[in-house]
Amino acid sequence: MGLLDPLLHRARRGCETMAYPAGPAPALPDRHGGGLRLDPGACREGCTECLPVCPTEAIVRSSPGAPVSLDLGRCLFCSACVTACPTGAITQTGDHRLAVRRREDLVLGDAQGKELRLARQLDERLRKLFGRSLRLRQVSAGGCNACESDLNVLNTIGWDLGRFGIQFVASPRHADGLLITGPVTRGMDLALRKTWDAVPAPKLVIAVGACAIAGGPFVGHPEVKGGADAVVPVDLYLPGCPPHPLTILDGLLRLLGRLGAGEAARRSDGSDRSV
């Protein structure tokens, strides 16, 4: 192989980095149903078909006559509830946008409504600090490595997270914040606190995946803390098991105010909503 062959091959392939967010978002694969939508009004009175099939008790009914509520922070997106629901009250949306700023915004039901209230961007002061250069220290607090695998995807040529000025660093002292995966086992409790203390202020925390948000399949287990916000304050929640790389990227860009004009046009009354 000549010295020019790799360069010619590269030129023929062209740019392989996706156009998003300047262009349309790539479609999710068919078997990835995206976010869930709950229509409490469609719940049949007395029906409990969806409750026992949920492995993390993400679906609850506060009283026998009340409609169900769905906690997307606990949800593993296995779609068992979608299959079990006889009235279609729970449906898949195919939407990758799932990031929220407040834990309570992940609970769909009477107060929240049918859809997510998507994450607002940081305030102006923090956006000026982090909007063009964000360094994150990733902490695996007892996870299974699924979320970490999808985080690694963001550094591949097709996604190229670095083009947004977002990078992972080896030391918390070089970081602007933490990106946490895993349910925070008791063995990782002190390590997470020390890592948080080592990050210079001002700093951020991003919880990625059902484990880091609520404990995931280990929810309620005595050996886990049940999510990152039991130990450190969380600024952004990215649900999923694991979240799709597009969900993670969307959440990071949404937090930093880096989404394009097309996405901004969807906003109404200061808070974007998923469709």
pLDDT digit string, tens, across residues 112-134: 556 788 999 999 999 999 999 99
* Apex 70 CA angle, 92 and 21, nearest 5: 50
Residue with tokens 């068919």: 30
Closest CA to 72 of 265, 234, 225, 216: 216
CATH topology of domain 124-262: Rossmann fold (3.40.50)
- Containing 198, the helix (H) or strand (E) segment is helix 186-198
Q: Please tell me the predicted confidence (pLDDT) of residue 14.
A: 73
One-letter amino acid for residue 106 of the chain: L
**Domain 36-95 bears CATH identifier 3.30.70.20:** yes
* Apex 11 CA angle, 7 and 16, nearest 5: 120
Q: Please tell me the predicted confidence (pLDDT) of residue 4.
A: 85
The answer to whether 256 touches 227, Cβ cutoff 8 Å, is no
pLDDT digit string, tens, across residues 47-103: 888 999 999 999 988 777 777 899 999 999 999 999 999 999 999 999 999 999 999
Q: Average per-residue pLDDT in the chain?
A: 89
Percent of the residues in the chain that have a pLDDT greater than 90, as a whole number: 70
* Apex 156 CA angle, 167 and 136, nearest 5: 15
Interval 18-29 mean pLDDT: 88
CA distance 243 to 47: 30
pLDDT digit string, tens, across residues 226-253: 999 999 999 999 999 999 999 999 999 9
Q: Domain residue spans in the chain?
A: 36-95, 124-262
pLDDT tier at 275, thresholds 50, 70, 90: very low
17 by Cβ neighbours in 10 Å (0-12 / 13-18 / 19+) ranks as exposed
